[in-house]
Structure 1
Amino acid sequence: MARPRRIVLIRHGESEGNVDDTVYERVPDHALRLTAEGWQQARAAGDRLRELFGEERVSAYVSPYRRTHETFRALRLDPSRVRAREEPRLREQDWGNWQDPKNVRQQKAARDAYGHFFYRFEQGESGADVYDRVGAFLESLWRSFDAPDHPPNVLLVTHGLTMRLFCMRWMHWSVAEFESLSNPDNGETRMLILGRKGRYHLDRPFERWCVPDPYEVL
């Protein structure tokens, strides 16, 4: 088994929806584009990643949303060293269909009170649903490590909540631990790094917005 030395997760750059929530009334979530700031964030992340990867090969998986495709393009990684594929299981938490901004704000307030993991959006997904499909992707990813020539780097171009849930699944965090963490900023990365004892660790933690209830942490 050729396990990669590092698994890099990156959140897409700033999108139209991050600066104007009324855009969801007229543009599907999956079709939102990066803003000028988002392109700049992604290009800056690409500078860091090209230095990190050097001449090593990379296996990249990209969420099917336009803003993640644009983010991957803005990274400007060497195509001769990168094997890229679209991965629908890394998509954003689904809201369902068109979104009414007032209703979205009400549902987000309800989610904050109910819990991000268990609350299910009307016609859409809960955090638990995203966790399940991320888990299914992780199983596929792990099987890919059986290839003796698997690249030493994996890159996941995805979304903030999906990043946290991927790490929750990989690191076996509790729901309470997940609920205490904030999304990374746009264009921000986290890395799972393979240690000498064969276990992965995060290069740096996610920021916390609260302390998890100790009675809910096993």
Structure 2
Amino acid sequence: MSAPHQIIMVRHGQSAANQDQSIYNRIPDYRIPLTQLGVAQAREAGEQIRRQLNGEKVSVYVSPYLRAYQTLEALDLGDLVDRTMEEPRLREQDWANFQNPAEIADQKELRNAYGHFFYRFREGESGSDVFDRVSSFLETLHRHWSRPDYAPNTLLVTHGLTMRLFCMRWFHWSVEYFESLNNPGNAEVRTLVAGNGRYALDVPFEQWIQAHPGTTVMDSPLRF
């Protein structure tokens, strides 16, 4: 088997931190669970993914964060799953160990001014750091796809920023185009669908400002 028919990506459902950001200074980010709504969102996403798979097997790669594992559990894909692999390179962007919500809010304002791709959180990562590890993960995927017994579909259970950066790497989007994109909502699904020797994204990411994939810093109105 070569590349899969579909590369399906799903963001985790609503987490407890989406409701109460103060939880970040009590619980490590990777241990924050889903809410009941998050579980329901993931179950609904599972119905969509099962329809997309149409009885075919899928190889699953899941972020090691609790909310990603709980999302995968709620997807309830059953015997459609050929194998499940924990993949740390699909984790959330690292912001800090135990996060101070007020300090993180200040840093988010700085990130909005500086740019999401290059701004590095203190004690954490920049978007470009996540891009680098996603690029490394893609190399692993291509090796896995060369196996003759690989399932005909791939599923990534991950995080919103990671999904955008995976597509940026795959489609060779520019940094400026990445900056124009919003994260998908909780438990939203995006799929790279194979056809005519190429992949296409089934549903585009929403944009908060107009840009196209080839837009560069030279086209930015914020040039100094």
Paired-residue identity, %: 55
Q: Is the 8 A contact 1:2 1:149 kept in 2?
A: no
Q: Partner of 2:18: helix, strand, or coil?
A: helix
Q: 2: CA distance between counterparts of 1:190 and 1:136?
A: 21
Q: Which runs of 5+ in 1 are unaligned?
A: none
Q: Which residue of 2 aligns with 1:182?
A: 182
Q: Which residue of 1 aligns with 2:217?
A: 216
Give 1:136-151 correspondences, 5 Å limit.
Answer: 136-151=136-151
Q: 2: CA distance between counterparts of 1:22 and 1:150?
A: 42
Give 1:38-57 correspondences, 5 Å limit.
Answer: 38-57=38-57
Report the TM-score when normalising by structure 1: 0.96
Return the offset for 1:123: 0.6
Q: Which residue of 1 aligns with 2:204?
A: 205
Q: Partner of 2:79: helix, strand, or coil?
A: coil
Q: Which residue of 2 aligns with 1:15?
A: 15
Q: Is the 8 A contact 1:192 1:203 kept in 2?
A: yes
Q: 2: CA distance between counterparts of 1:193 and 1:217?
A: 31
Q: Partner of 1:79: helix, strand, or coil?
A: helix
Q: Which residue of 2 aligns with 1:76?
A: 76
Q: Partner of 1:130: helix, strand, or coil?
A: helix
Mapped pair 1:166 → 2:166: yes
Question: Do the aligned partners of residues 215 and 119 (structure 1) sit closer, same or farther apart at CA in structure 2, a change above 3 Å counting?
Answer: closer
Return the offset for 1:189: 0.7
Q: CA RMSD in A?
A: 1.4
Q: Which residue of 1 aligns with 2:222?
A: none
Return the offset for 1:215: 5.0
Q: Which residue of 2 aligns with 1:102?
A: 102
Q: Is the 8 A contact 2:12 2:158 kept in 1?
A: yes
Q: Residues 91-117 of structure 1: CA distance to partner in whole angstroms, max 9, x if unpaired?
A: 000013111111010000100110000
Report the TM-score when normalising by structure 2: 0.93
Q: Is the 8 A contact 1:177 1:217 kept in 2?
A: no
Q: Is the 8 A contact 1:60 1:156 kept in 2?
A: yes
Q: 2: CA distance between counterparts of 1:112 and 1:132?
A: 21
Structure 1 stretch 96-105 or stretch 63-72: which is displaced more? 96-105
Q: Partner of 1:185: helix, strand, or coil?
A: coil
Corresponding letter in the other structure for 1:104:
I
Q: Is the 8 A contact 1:9 1:156 kept in 2?
A: yes
Q: Residues 46-66 of structure 1: CA distance to partner in whole angstroms, max 9, x if unpaired?
A: 111112212211000000000
Q: Residues 31-85 of structure 1: CA distance to partner in whole angstroms, max 9, x if unpaired?
A: 0000011000000001111122122110000000000000000000123643111
Q: Is the 8 A contact 1:174 1:217 kept in 2?
A: no
Give the count of matched residue pairs.
Answer: 217
Question: Do the aligned partners of residues 201 and 217 (structure 1) sit closer, same or farther apart at CA in structure 2, a change above 3 Å counting?
Answer: farther
